[in-house]
Amino acid sequence: MGGKCDIGLIGLAVMGQNLALNIESAGYQVAVYNRTSATTEEFIKKRADSKNIIPAYSLEEFAGLLQRPRKIILMVKAGSPVDSVIEGLLPYLDKGDIIIDGGNSFYRDTERRARELKEKGIRFLGTGISGGEYGALHGPSIMPGGDESAYWEVEEIFSRIAARTEGGPCVSYLGTGSAGHYVKMVHNGIEYGVMELIAESYDLMRKGMGLSPAEMGDIFRKWNEKQQSYLLEIAGEIMDREDPETGKPLIDLISDVASQKGTGKWTVQEALELGVPLPVITAAVYARYLSAYKGEREEFSRAFAAPEREVIGREFLPVLEEALYLATVIAYAEGMDLLKRASLEYGYGLPFAEIARIWQDGCIIRSRLLKQIQRIYKEEQGVASIILSGEFSRDFAERVGSLRRTVSLAIEGGIPVPAFSAALAYFDSLRARELPANLIQAQRDYFGAHTYRRKDKEGTFHTEWQDIENV
Ligand code: 6PG
């Protein structure tokens, strides 16, 4: 016989603690385990005091506390720690037990673990969980993939702890194998793109228009009345925060070197692998790398003066607002495009409308746009890109001039806007009936006899561009 806890959770860093508390407050008894016992003791003494949370101090004891089939959520650091915990647990598990990896694991690791565990009769769910510390405690967006029978055993718990919109709880079974972690990776890629676009808007306002953080806070808030985007909302709050020590705006004191844990990079690597263009998301990843070139940037700034820039007037603000909106749509379009390609390549059978639905609350990229995206996938299924859908296509047709104007003002002023520029170039390339790739093809054929196709007839052609024998 097993024990009586409904579910177990391993890994008591803040996300794990918050998720355990969330599950407990939804009416379940939770067993918890952490490699360092002191962390468990402290959690039980403080945050979990008088809650229906039972500590275990060894994996054997932990497994013994759980009802069968055991349901175990891992909230440990992605990478080898996940493998070590699984290895440590296996001797105490029975066939049919369920392991749920709730971290930001690389989807190929998830694929491997699912395969290895299946051979041992253990059911595995690679599950993306978004919403940061707050979401974990009050309702995240949950992206599970893997063994479907396992999903239905934890569905009730997931539905009770997830964020909720009028469309239901922000959780849905996304597909086999690594589908859940793949979707979470792309979620994070979009997150990188949108964050970079907001950061570039901030840069244009402070350098081009000379606005103060307090003024920018008001502007972000005003823009967010339409966009209803979590990332825009927190940008507004950040602008208002004062440093308690100096009384200065805190944002002015934060170092301009951005870190990353890898999910944005994986998204871009995947896009390269599958041949899907993701210019905005890629620009966002590169922008973080460039920010880390602090020493080089200092040398460059000493060597090259910035161009004389005219002050951009406040009348430009509505233009920037539209540009941010359109480029943000492009970031989502890129992500959805990668998901579409991956779904075919890996046979996930991803439910796109459901993905757009479960991203509407709890997660970091939640925004009003996702309601429109959900509608598009429900009603315009065949559409090649969300940009071509009813609502968005009209916006692009009428307002793309704002994106163009924003990029050109930034370029003239020497203010780097890699993500805005990438968004515009992506749109202009897709819009172009003719691209200069004919010259690329001709050059490939010239130096390497790689052949080309013609516009006026079928077949593959090669031209003797040079007389190599007689040079
Ligand atoms: C989320 C976030 C979360 C994490 C990011 C940060 O959805 O809750 O995406 O998973 O905060 O992965 O990523 P970087 O450290 O790479 O910016």
- Give the architecture (CATH level 2) of 184-431: Orthogonal Bundle (1.10)
Q: Give me the residues of the chain with pLDDT under 70, please.
A: 1-2
Q: What pLDDT is attached to residue 278?
A: 98
User: In this predicted structure, what is the pLDDT of residue 311?
Assistant: 84
Domain boundaries, the chain: 7-177, 184-431, 437-470
Residue closest by Cα to atom 14 of ligand 1: 260
131 Cβ inside 6 Å of ligand 1: yes
Q: Encoding tokens for residue 341?
A: 């390609």
Query: pTM for the full model?
Result: 0.97
According to DSSP, the residues that pair with 72 across neighbouring strands are 8, 99
Q: Cα dist. 349→32, 175, 250 in Å?
A: 34, 6, 45
Q: Ligand 1 center to residue 115 CA distance, Å?
A: 26
Phi-psi region of 207 (alpha: psi -120 to 50; beta: other; left: phi over 0): alpha
What contacts 24+ positions apart, CB below 8 Å, involve 93-96?
93/63, 93/122, 94/68, 94/69, 94/70, 95/120, 95/121, 95/122, 96/68, 96/69, 96/121, 96/122, 96/123
What is the model's pLDDT at position 307? Answer: 86
- Give the model's pLDDT for residue 2: 56
Fold of 437-470: 1.20.5
- C-beta of 141 in contact with ligand 1 (< 6 A): no
Instruction: Give the residue numbers marked as catalytic.
Output: 184, 191
Pairing of the two strands 98-101 and 141-146: unpaired
Q: What is the pLDDT of residue 292?
A: 98
The residue contributing the CA closest to ligand 1 atom 11 is 132
Tokens, residue 270: 């995947």
Secondary structure string (H, E, C) spanning the chain: CCCCECEEEECCCHHHHHHHHHHHHCCCCEEEECCCHHHHHHHHHCCCCCCCEEECCCHHHHHHCECCCCEEEECCCCCHHHHHHHHHHHHHCCCCCEEEECCCCCHHHHHHHHHHHHHCCCEEEEEEEECHHHHHHHCCEEEEEECHHHHHHHHHHHHHHCCEECCEECECCCCCCCHHHHHHHHHHHHHHHHHHHHHHHHHHHHHHCCCCHHHHHHHHHHHHHHHCCHHHHHHHHHHHCECCCCCCEHHHHCCCCCCCCCHHHHHHHHHHHHCCCCHHHHHHHHHHHHHCCHHHHHHHHHHCCCCCCCCCCHHHHHHHHHHHHHHHHHHHHHHHHHHHHHHHHHCCCCCHHHHHHHCCCCCCCCCCHHHHHHHHHHHCCCCCCHHHCHHHHHHHHHHHHHHHHHHHHHHHHCCCCHHHHHHHHHHHHHHCCCCCHHHHHHHHHHHHCCCECCCCCCCCECCCCCCCCCC
Q: Is the CB of 128 under 6 A from ligand 1?
A: no
Distance between Cα 333 and ligand 1 center (Å): 20
- Identify the CA nearest to 179 among candidates 268, 120, 101: 101
Distance 259 CA to ligand 1 centre (A): 11
Residue 1: the pLDDT is 45
Among 106, 198, 261, name the best residue to mutate to test ligand 1's pocket (greatest count of ligand atoms within 8 A of Cβ).
261
Report the top-level CATH class of 7-177: alpha beta
Residue nearest to atom 1 of ligand 1 (CA): 130
Do the Cβ atoms of 427 and 330 come closer than 8 Å? yes
